Amino acid sequence: MSLVTLTDVLQPALRNGYAVAGLVTLGWEDMRAYVAAAEAEGVPVILQAGPSCRAHTPLPILGKMFRHLAEHASVPVVAHLDHGHTFEDCREALDCGFTSLMFDGSRKALAQNIEETARIAEMAHAAGISCEGEIGFVGYRGGEGSAGTDPDDAARFARESGVDAMAISVGNVHLQQDREGGLDEARIRAIEAVTEVPLVIHGGSGVPMAQRAALAHGSNICKFNIGTELRMAFGKALREAVNHDPERFDRVQIMQETHDPVVAATREVLRGLKGA
């Protein structure tokens, strides 16, 4: 099945009461496992290239990797730029074949965030692809704290920016290694009341599985970004593969042993979000 846009997968999710996983990639091994898991579950998947991924592998290479996987996949695959911080980041991703651009202006004043996001949404739409924006800063475990999304700001942002999906800050935190927290459902309902745009949760690894499933099936949250828990699964599998035979040095053999555990962990994530 061919590469698709974010709108192609989120609008059906919004209509039919499920969510799609935005899976944070770091390299070939995990993105390949993510697509295999999506095929096994029969669901679409969003492959995401965030700042740390882009620091390791250039965007032109990532675009080719994503497109290669999509062209050979039996399910829809979105090639998504995660946390583009400048117009130039987004322009380069578009030129490299990405089908979705996420511009993160959440640290900026509302009017500036709207203006800059709208410019990127216009560029994306002119090229026939999608744009995600963020209103309300989502913080980081052990780092910057979150600034929750104001529903009135969210309504204005959705209306004036022209985004196809809107990331919100409702108790979610990036890089969370446990699921002891939870999302502010009252704030989510208040945002839903004033906008119809599909909503996105960054830092989805920190959201309890039961709450993820409930919101996927009973709210306008159509995309959960999942990275940390799958990185942990990969790290555990890699550690076991290395320690199993300290004399082994062939990275291809070692990396092969991460595939099945990451597929299994990813399938668990996908099952919690998929429709009936």
DSSP, collapsed to helix, strand or coil, labels residue 49 as strand
Q: Are 39 and 74 in contact (CB under 8 A)?
A: yes
Q: Which residues of 143-182 are buried (b: 16+ CB within 10 A; e: fewer)?
A: eeebeebbbebbbbbbeebbbbbbbbbbbbbbebeebebe
Q: Which residues of 54-92 are buried (b: 16+ CB within 10 A; e: fewer)?
A: beeeebeebbebbbebbeebebbbbbbbbbbeeeebbeb
Q: Please report where in the chains the tokens 């119809």 appear, as a residue.
A: 196
Report the C-alpha gap between 250 and 156 in whole angstroms: 54
Angle (CA) 68-40-262 rounded to 5° is 75
Whole-angstrom CA distances from 122 to 119, 128, 156, 161 are 5, 10, 17, 9
Q: Is 82 a catalytic residue?
A: yes
List the catalytic residue out of 8, 82, 104, 150: 82
Nearest to 266 by CA among 86, 49, 21, 1: 21
Report the C-alpha gap between 122 and 129 in whole angstroms: 10
Whole-angstrom CA distances from 147 to 5, 138, 150, 205, 213 are 29, 7, 9, 19, 24
Active-site annotation, residues: 82
